[in-house]
Amino acid sequence: MFRVALCLLLMTLVSGCSDKWGWYVVNPTTTSGAVNLNFLISGLYYTILLSVTAIVISVVVGLLVALPGLSSKRPLRMFSRTYVEVVRAVPILVLILWVYYGLPQLSGLTITVFWAGVIALALSDSAFEAEIFRAGIQSIAKGQYEAAHSISLSYADTMRFVILPQAIRRILPALGNQLVYMLKMSSLVSVIGMQELTRKANELVVSEYRPLEIYTILVLEYLVLILIVSAGVRWLERRMQSDERN
C-alpha cells in the first residue's frame, strides 16, 4: 500500500513538469507555498478529532442497538431492526444538513458545527455498527452462553467477560473499515463550514484559483492518513490474534 502511495506521488511530481500544473502554489521552498501547505495541513486536526469522536460514539450506540436485536422479545427486535433500516436509508449528507439546520429548531439548543458533524456521522454509522456487532455476537457458539450460565454469570457479565471479548476479535477488521469510512465521510461536514481538510482545500482554491494542484494535495493527504490508519488496524488485529493464541 505504501509503495502504491509513493508511486502515485512520484507520478504526480513528474507530471508537474507539464505546463498544465502550477506547483508554485504549494511549493514548500517559497514563502507563499509553505503558508498554503500549512493551511491545508491545519485541517488534519479537526478531521481526526471529528472522525475519532464520531466512531467512538457510534460504536457505543451501535452496541446498544444491537443487543435488543438479539432479544427473544419481538418488540425489542423490532425496535433494533426499525432503527437500523431507517438510519441506513437516510443519505449521510442529508443527515448532516438536517442535524445542523433542523435539530436546533426542534430542541431549542445551539449546536456547533463540530458537534453537528459528530452527531450526524455517529448516528449514520451506528446503524452499520449495530449490524456488525449483531453478526459478531451471533457467531459465538451457544456453548459459551451455556458455560457462562453454568457458573451463574448474569447476562451483563456474560456479555462483558465472555461474549463481547470474543466477538470484538472477530469484528475488528469490520470496525477498522468503519473507521476508514468515517475518515472519508468526514469530508462531507465541510458543507456546513467545518474547518477540516476538505474545507481548507476549498477555501484555498477560491483564493489561489489552482484546483488541480490543491485537490491533488488533498487526495494525497487522505491517502497517507488512511494508509496509516489501515496499517494500525492490521497491527492491532495481529496483536489480538497473538494474545488469543497465547
pLDDT in tens, 144-179: 888 888 888 888 888 888 888 888 888 988 898 899
76 and 179 together in one domain? yes
Q: Which amino acid is at 65?
A: V
> What's the mean pLDDT in 168-192?
91
Q: Inform me whether the pLDDT recorded for 245 exceeds 80.
A: no
Domain stops at, among 154, 179, 194: 194
pLDDT the model gives residue 244? 61
Q: Is the dihedral of CA 66, 173, 85, 196 positive or negative?
A: positive
175 and 101 together in one domain? yes
**H or E segment at 167?**
helix 164-185
> What's the mean pLDDT in 33-43?
91
Share of the chain above pLDDT 70, in %: 90
How far is it between the farthest Cα atoms of the chain?
A: 75
> What's the mean pLDDT in 88-98?
95
Q: Inform me whether the pLDDT recorded for 107 exceeds 50.
A: yes
The phi and psi torsions of 162 (rounded to 5 degrees) equal -115, -55
The residue range of the domain holding 13 is 1-43+199-246
Contact, 205 vs 36, CB < 8 A?
A: no
168 and 85 together in one domain? yes
Q: Please, which residues have CB within 8 angstroms of residue 241's CB and are 6 or more apart in sequence?
A: 169
pLDDT band at 94 (very low <50, low <70, confident <90, very high): very high
Minimal CA–CA distance to 84: which of 132, 152, 143, 155? 132
